[in-house]
Amino acid sequence: MDWESALKDYLLYLKLERGLAENSIENYRYDIKKIITYLTEFKIDASPVKINNETLKQFIYHISKAVNPRSQARIISGLRNFFDYLVFENYRKDNPTDLIETPKIGRKLPETLSLGDIDCLISNIDLSYQFNGVNLGERNRAIIETLYSCGLRVSELIELKISDLFFDEGFIKVLGKGNKERFVPISTSTQGYINIWKSIRQQILVDIGSKDVLFLNYKGKKLTRAMVFTIIKRLVEKSGLKKNVSPHTFRHSFATHLLENGADLRAIQMMLGHESITTTEIYMHVDRSHLTDILNKYHPRK
C-alpha cells in the first residue's frame, strides 16, 4: 500500500465512519501530506505500512524547525490517528508513533473583545453599503450579531439555513462538528437584524444550490469562510481596534461574557457544542479577577 492510496482510504473512513466535517478532513489531509512531501524530498523509501519510529522521529525533528510546538502536537496527533486506522484495518501490527512524545504546550487563552469593542465594531458597519445593487451592509451586521449572539463557529455560520431559524421558539438549529445538531437560543434583537437581511435577500437571484442558505454573497451563492474573515478584517481596520480579531473571537467573547455574568458552565458547553466540558473550562481562566469578585461576594467566610 502506497501513501496516496492509504490516505485516500483514511479520508474516506473519516468521512463515512466518523462523520467528520470537510474542514476537519482537510486538516488531516494537510498534515499527512507533510510527511509524504518529506519522504519524497529526502528520497526515503518508506511506505505507510513499513515506516518505522526512527524515520518518524527524523520527520518530527525536521518540521520542528518550521512550526511551533502547538502545530507539532497537532501533526503528531494526526499521524497517530492515521496509524491507528492502519492497525485497525490490519495493514500493520503496530503504531510507530506510540513512543513519540508530544511537545508540551501551554494552554492558549482565547482573545476576547469587551462589550465596548463589540459596540465599536457594530457601530462602524456601513449599513448603506451596496455592491451590484445588493445591500451588504445589513448582511454584515446580521453576520456579526449572529456570531456574537449565538457563539457560532464560522463554518456553522456559513452553513446556517433559513429552515434552521425557529424564531417563534427563540432558537436556531446549528450543524456543528461531526454533523451534530444543537439548538442555540437567539436574542430578539438578532432575530430582527436577520429578518432585515432576509427581506433584502429576497431581491437576490439565488443560486440553485443555495436556495435555503441564509447568508449569501451578491451573486446569490453561499459565503466562504475566507469572505467572512475578510469582512471582519476590514471592519476591525475601520474601527481602529488593535486586536487580532477573527470570527472565532466573537465565539470566545460570547462564552466569556456569559460566564462573567453568572451563566452555568454546563449551559455554555451546550450552546457552544463542545463534546467535553474540559474544552469549555478554558473560559474559567480568561478572567481570574471576575472569579475573585465572585468569591468575595458569595463565599460565607470571605
**Active-site residues: which are they?**
153, 177, 248, 251, 274, 283
Tell which phi-psi region holds residue 178, choosing left (phi > 0), alpha (psi between -120 and 50) or beta.
left
**Residue 16 and residue 178 in contact, taking contact as beta carbons nearer than 8 Å:** no
The whole-angstrom distance between residue 113's C-alpha and the CA centroid of its chain comes to 17
**Strands (E) located in 176-247:** 181-185
Q: Which one, of 273, 68, 298, 281, lies nearest residue 157 by Cα? A: 273
Buried b (16+ CB within 10 A) or exposed e, 127-145: eeeeeeebbbbbbbbbbbb
- State how far the Cα of 261 lies from the Cα of 216, in Å rounded to an integer: 34
User: Which is nearest to 160 in space by CA: 125, 126, 190?
Assistant: 190
In the block, cell 468575595 appears at 296
Q: Residue for cell digits 456570531?
A: 147
Q: Residues near 300 by Cβ (< 8 Å), separated by ≥ 6?
A: none
Cβ(175)–Cβ(110) below 8 Å: no
Give the total residue count for the chain: 302
Helix (H) or strand (E) holding 175: strand 171-175
CB 195, CB 145: distance < 8 Å: no
Beta strands in 197-300 (DSSP E): none
